[in-house]
């Protein structure tokens, strides 16, 4: 029977006076789960975007900033050289490394291997744990380090250097032409023997004029070190036009 009100109109089920039935408990639970999954998914997307931005910053933008700073510092060194004869000021850098198989263009070399120094897109010579010799020393090991990824990544292609390749170091007055003779694809970052005046791990047993390049490996990590050794082959005086050695032409 349909109940009627005072004016005789029937009150239909679901009409204004009806009370809505509560949704089933299982439906409410599924709704909460769906909301939680949605929020978690949005968080994952946000984290993914942040990680992607961090990777772009680390592997691209730091290179842009470092290369810009390296060019500025390199220009300062060359301006100092252009002043003419006199005492050589090496506070801003001692010279430039050239290695066609390693890096296009020149790499400024400065004192020290601290992160703050290398982050400027340069290479640095060791002052500790084993002090580096200088190219102009009569004997010793000229030991250099640079980043492999980010911050200029000047030694990124170190694995492309092969035995027999030329590596040239340029100072204001002299070109030092080295020749790669050995590589060590992986060693402990605590292996200071690779920096010794006589790098015996490279096979050498007598004093000489050596060059050691070191950087992190594997790529995108700093767990181990990649080492390349070269030996001085000859020197050339720098002429007025700064004519490059044949190996760089």
Q: What is the DSSP letter of 244?
A: P
216 is catalytic: yes
Sign of CA dihedral 7, 9, 11, 14: negative
Cα angle 186-187-188, degrees, rounded to a multiple of 5 = 140
Q: Which two tokens stand for residue 95?
A: 């010279």
Give the Å distances, CA to CA, from 76 to 11, 88, 109, 154: 94, 13, 13, 19
Catalytic residue among 98, 147, 151, 156: 147
* DSSP 3-state of 182: strand
Q: Which of 181, 189, 186, 177 lies closest to 233 in space, CA to CA?
A: 177
Name the DSSP class of 107: E
CA 117 to CA 145: how far, in whole Å? 11
Residue of 151, 156, 216, 224 marked catalytic: 216
Which residues belong to the active site? 147, 216
């Amino acid at each position: 029977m349909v109940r009627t009100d005072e004016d005789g109109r029937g009150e239909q089920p679901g009409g204004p006076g009806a009370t809505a039935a509560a949704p089933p408990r299982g439906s409410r639970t599924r709704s909460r789960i769906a909301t939680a999954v949605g929020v978690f998914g949005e968080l994952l997307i946000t984290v993914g975007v942040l990680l992607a931005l961090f990777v772009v910053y680390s592997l691209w933008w730091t290179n842009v900033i470092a290369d810009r700073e390296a060019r500025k510092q390199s220009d300062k060194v060359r301006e100092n050289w252009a002043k003419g004869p006199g005492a050589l000021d090496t506070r801003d850098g001692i010279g430039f490394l050239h290695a066609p198989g390693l890096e296009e263009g020149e790499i400024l070399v400065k004192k020290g291997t601290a992160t703050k120094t290398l982050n400027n897109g340069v290479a640095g010579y060791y002052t500790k744990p084993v002090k580096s010799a200088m190219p102009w020393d009569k004997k010793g090991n000229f030991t250099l380090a640079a980043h492999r990824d980010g911050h200029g990544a000047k030694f990124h292609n170190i694995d492309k250097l092969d035995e027999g390749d030329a590596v040239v170091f340029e100072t204001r007055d002299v070109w030092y032409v080295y020749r790669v003779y050995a590589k060590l694809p992986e060693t402990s970052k605590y292996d200071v023997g690779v920096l010794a005046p006589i790098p015996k791990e490279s096979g050498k047993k007598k004093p000489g004029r050596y060059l050691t390049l070191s950087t992190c490996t594997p790529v995108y990590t700093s767990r181990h070190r990649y080492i390349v050794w070269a030996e001085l082959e000859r020197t050339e005086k720098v002429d007025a036009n700064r004519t490059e050695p044949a190996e760089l032409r």
